[in-house]
Chain A
C-alpha cells in the first residue's frame, strides 16, 4: 500500500477513536464541562496533561530546532519540563484544594476583587489565543503534507473535529481524547527514533544511543557527539556540544530564557486547569508526576533524535552530488522544505554556515540542469547552498531511516494528535473563562446551569472559528507571539498565585499593581524588540527571556505595595489557611 493510503487509514482510525470517546463522555453539568466533574484518575490526568502540553511545536519542530542549535537547544528541553516541578510543589495541590474552575476564579476570590479577576481573565484569553492559532496552522500543514489536501481544507477539517468533541464533552471529553492522543503521538515519536538509533549506534534506546559510538560507516567506533562536534566545526559551525561562545547566546540570556519558559509553563492557564480535574490533593500531586514522566519520555528522546538527524543530514547531504542525493531529499524538495541553489555550478551540494539565500525559497517553476527546482531568491555571498526547513528533522525521519510506509503515516497521525490535543485544551480555557468568569461571575450571577452550559458551548464554537481564521490567514507574527504567551504567563499569573498561597499578607492592591507592572514591562519590552526593531536594552536579554525579569518585577511590586496597604480581610486569610491542608477538598464525581 502507498504512503497516502496508509495515512488515510491511520488518520481515519485515530479520528474515529477521538469522536467515539467524545460521544461516550458527553456531559450535562457545568462542573463536568469545566473540570470533568473533578473525577479524573491521576494517571489519566497525567497523560492528558502531557498531550495537552505537547503541541505541534514539541512534536514537529523541537528536535529540528535542537539539531541546529546544539547545546543552546537545551533552553526548550529544560524550560518546558522544569516548570512541572514548580507546578507540583508550589501550585497544583493548593489550587486543587481551593477547587474552583479556572485561574481567574482563584485570582478573583483570593484577591477579593473583580478588577483582579478581570485582569487575569484578559491575560488567560490572550495567552490562549496566541497559542491556539499556531496549533490550527499545524493541523493544516500536516494535512497538506501527508494527505495532499489544501492547507485550508485541512484547517477546516481540524476545526470541525475539535468543535465536535470539545463542545459535546467539555473538559471530560477533552480529557479522555487527550489520553488517546498521547498514546498516538508517543508511539509515532518513539518508533522512528528507536529505528534510527539502532541504525546509527546499534543501541535501541535513543537516550543512551546518542552518548554511544557510531556502529557503521567511516566513523565506526567514534563517539557520535564527538564526531558531530568535529563535523560542525569543519563546516564553520560552533561545536555541537559547546555551550557559549561566538554566535551563541550568552549565559545570562540562556539562564533567563530557561527561567521564563519554566515559570511561563507553570503559569499557563490550560496547564493549571488540568489539576482541577482530579478528585483530591493527593491526585493533584501525583498527576503532576505522571504528567512530567510522560512528557519526559518525548523530551529526553528529542535531543537524541536531534543529534541523529544532524549526523545523518551532514553525512548524506554535504559534499554529495545532487544527482546522487538520497530520495528523501528530492521528495522534500517537492514540498518546498528543502531547496538547493548551485551557487558554484559544480553539481555538488555544499552545506555551510549561514543562509543559502535571503528569505524562504521562492520557486520559479522551472527545473535546473540536474532536475533541481530553481529558486529566484537573491543568493547570499557565503558558501552554503542548501535551505533546510527545521521541521524536516522529525517529519522526514522515517524516510531517512528507510522505514515502512505505515510508520510515515503514523508520524502524520502523531503530528495531528499533538496539534489537536493542545488546541482543544486551549479552546476550553477560552470558553470557560468567558462563560464562567465573564458571563456568570461578572455579568449574570443568576444564570442557570443550563444557560451557562449553552454559553460555554457557543463560546467554543466562536473560539474555534477565530482560531481557524488565524490558521487559514496566519498573521505574519505567529512565531513572534510565542514569546508573548510565555512571557505574559510568567510575568502575570505565576507570582500572584504563588504569593496568594504562601503569603497571607499579600492583598488585592499588591496583586493588581504587581500584575500590571509585570505585564506592562514584559509587553512593551517584547513589542519594542519584535515589532519596532528595538534593541534588547536590558542587559542584552532577548524577548524570549524577558518574562523572567517581568516575573521578578511582579514579585517585588506585589510585596512592596502589600506592605503599605491594609491586610486582606479575615475570611480571605482563612481561605489561604484552609488551602494549605489537604483534607476536605471537594469530592469528585465518579466516571
Chain B
C-alpha cells in the first residue's frame, strides 16, 4: 500500500513536469524568447510569434488544465485514491 502511494506521487510529479514544460515552451519560449524568429513565419495574417503571445499560448493553457484533470482522474482510479 505504502509503496503504491509513493509511485502515485512520482507519476503525478512526472505528469506535472511534462505539462509545465509545455506551459513554459508555448508562453515563454514561443511567445517571448523566440518570438522574433517565429514572427518571420506567417499563418494567414498572423506573424506566428505574435499569435502565440496573444492567442495560441492561452488556448494551450486551457487544454493543459483539462488534460491534467483527465489524466489525474484516470490515475486516481488506478491507484484507488479517488473520491
Contact = CB atoms under 8 A, between A and B. Distances in A.
A9 interface: no
B83 A585 contact: yes
Contacts of A536: none
Given A303-B55, A581-B8, A581-B81, A258 B50 contact: no
Interface string B25-67: 0011001110110010001111101110111011101101110
A340 B23 CA distance: 45
Interface in B62-78: 62, 64-66, 68-69, 72-73, 76
A584 B58 CA distance: 33
A90 B19 CA distance: 11
Contacts of B72: 93, 285
B47 A241 contact: yes
B5 interface: yes
A77 B58 contact: yes
Nearest 5 pairs of A and B residues by beta carbon:
A223-B45, A74-B53, A289-B65, A303-B54, A211-B46
Contacts of A84: 61, 65
Interface string A68-98: 0001011001100110110011100100000
A479 B44 CA distance: 37
Contacts of A226: 45
Contact of B53 (A77, A262, A282, A286): A77
A289 B83 contact: no
B20 interface: yes
Interface stretch (A12-20, A293-301, A397-405): A293-301
A280 B81 CA distance: 13
Interface of A: 66, 71, 73-74, 77-78, 81-82, 84-85, 88-90, 93, 207, 210-213, 223-226, 241-244, 251, 254-255, 258-259, 262, 280-282, 285-286, 288-289, 292-293, 296, 299-300, 303, 580-585
A293 B49 contact: no
A303 B51 CA distance: 10
B64 A85 contact: yes
Contact of A296 (B23, B32, B46, B59): B59
Contacts, number: 134
Interface of B: 5, 8-9, 12, 16, 19-20, 23, 27-28, 31-33, 35-36, 39, 43-47, 49-51, 53-55, 57-59, 61-62, 64-66, 68-69, 72-73, 76, 81-83
Contacts of A281: 83
A225 B58 contact: no
21 contacts: A73-B54, A74-B53, A78-B27, A81-B61, A82-B23, A85-B23, A85-B65, A90-B16, A93-B72, A211-B45, A211-B46, A212-B44, A224-B45, A282-B76, A282-B83, A289-B65, A289-B66, A299-B58, A303-B55, A583-B81, A583-B82
A303 B46 CA distance: 12
A83 to B, nearest CB: 9
B44 A85 contact: no
A251 B32 contact: yes
Given A82-B23, A241-B39, A211 B44 contact: yes
A85 B50 contact: no
**Interface of chain A: mostly helix, strand, loop or mixed:** helix
Contacts of B49: 243
Contact of A255 (B28, B51, B58, B82): B28
Contacts of B23: 82, 85
Contact of B82 (A241, A289, A582): A582
Nearest to A87: B65
A582 B45 CA distance: 46
Contacts of B54: 66, 71, 73-74, 77, 300, 303
Given A81-B58, A211-B51, A292-B62, A280 B83 contact: yes
Contacts of B62: 289, 292-293, 296
Nearest to A291: B65
Nearest to B5: A581
B44 A78 contact: no
Contacts of B33: 251, 255
Given A74-B53, A74-B54, A89-B65, 19 more contacts: A66-B54, A71-B50, A77-B53, A77-B54, A84-B61, A85-B61, A93-B72, A210-B45, A212-B45, A213-B45, A281-B83, A285-B68, A293-B62, A299-B58, A300-B55, A300-B59, A582-B81, A582-B82, A583-B81
Contacts of A81: 57-58, 61
A71 B35 contact: yes
B39 A88 contact: no
Nearest to A244: B36
Contacts of A207: 55
Contacts of A210: 45
Contacts of B47: 225, 241
Contacts of B81: 581-583
Contacts of B61: 81-82, 84-85, 292, 296
A282 B77 CA distance: 12
A87 to B, nearest CB: 9
A78 B52 CA distance: 10
Contact of A85 (B20, B32, B51): B20
Contacts of A243: 35-36, 39, 49-50, 53
B48 to A, nearest CB: 10
Contact of B69 (A78, A244, A285): A285
A203 B82 CA distance: 45
Contacts of B83: 280-282, 582-585
A286 B69 contact: yes
A89 B16 contact: yes
Give the residue among B9, B35, B43, B69 with the most A Cβ atoms within 10 A. Answer: B69
B58 A88 contact: no
B45 to A, nearest CB: 3
A254 B46 contact: no
A205 B69 CA distance: 28
Given A285-B69, A580-B9, A74 B31 contact: yes
A211 B64 CA distance: 24
Contacts of A241: 39, 47, 50
